[in-house]
Amino acid sequence: MSKVIDPHIHLFDLQEGDYDWLKSENEPHWPDKSTINRDYAESDLSLDETVALEGFVHIEAGFDNNAPWRELAWLEGHCQLPFRSVAFADIRSEAFKDQVAELSQYRSFVGIRYILDDAAETILSDEVVHRNLALLAEEGLLFEAQFPLADQSAVAALSRVLGDLPQLKVVLNHTGSPQQLSENWMNSIMSLAHHPECYIKCSGWEMFNRNWVSDSIKPLISFAIRQFGLTRVMLASNFPVSELSCDYATLWQRYLKEMKWKGFEKDMLVYENAKRIYQFD
């Protein structure tokens, strides 16, 4: 049996949280977005009998960006499996330190996710942001960065941050949003891999190709492994957005069976690295 810690999932409670991004009038304007506009609980993380879900990392899902600790309180009141929380906090705000202090009262809290997207270079070059990221480094908290690695100016800005704050642990989300093996994406991967506290999660394939298959994504994952090394790469689901392509059990069968990793490679990619990076006991 394969043991899995899924390092990138979202759970929804539409009665308790805001989830503005799920509303049809808001971005992203996916034509099939309504199919995931419903509640998702821990019990929906269903795998077949050959796979054991040992834990997960919950990534902020827009529950309440004005009081992001409410999402952590909800999770800690509902989840039974071991889990860690990566919350929202506004890295552009002077109130960031107070937000982190509030979030730090929750036992599952391990870091912040901020969706940088096309504004990545501007945000990462801001002095207030730099000061707030230094706080994360001091507290031993993770910074989850989400933006396209094809944007080389943004990558250069992140490299400067990592050079200035060598203790800051940065986790790149969704493999840096590649649609294919492009020169810019590969150059960015090689550049960021030089920073030993930079990690990468491979997921989010459905956001660029609803009909993705194992053969189409393994070259991207393999390139990331060659540059970052086996100990700094994780396979993740992006559940329930991943459901726009396939169900949860099928996704993990693609990772675990179809890609034919060696035993020790598989253990690192789907369990050991997430356990270490996200500080599971």
**Cβ(184)–Cβ(153) below 8 Å:** no
**pTM, full prediction:** 0.97
What's the number of domains the chain is made of?
1
**Cβ(185)–Cβ(176) below 8 Å:** yes
* CATH value at residue 27: 3.20.20.140
Quote the Cα angle for 81-85-86, to 5°: 150
**Cβ(92)–Cβ(126) below 8 Å:** yes
Does pLDDT of 54 surpass 90?
Answer: yes
pLDDT at 281: 78
Give me the mean pLDDT over the 54-79 stretch: 98
- List the domain range (segments joined by +) for residue 263: 2-277
Does pLDDT of 112 surpass 90?
Answer: yes
Residue partners of 55: CB distance under 8 A and separation at least 6: 5, 6, 81, 82, 83, 84, 274, 275, 280
Q: Which helix (H) or strand (E) holds 111?
A: strand 109-115
Going along 224-265, which residue ranges are E strands? Answer: 233-235
pLDDT at 180: 84
Residue pointed to by tokens 């190709």: 209
Strands 233-235 and 2-9: unpaired
Tell me which residue of 140, 143, 59, 74 sits closest to 106, measured CA to CA.
Answer: 74
Question: What are the tens digits of pLDDT across the range 206-244?
Answer: 999 999 999 999 999 999 999 999 999 999 999 999 999
Mean pLDDT for all residues in the chain: 97
Question: What are the tens digits of pLDDT across the range 239-265?
Answer: 999 999 999 999 999 999 999 999 899
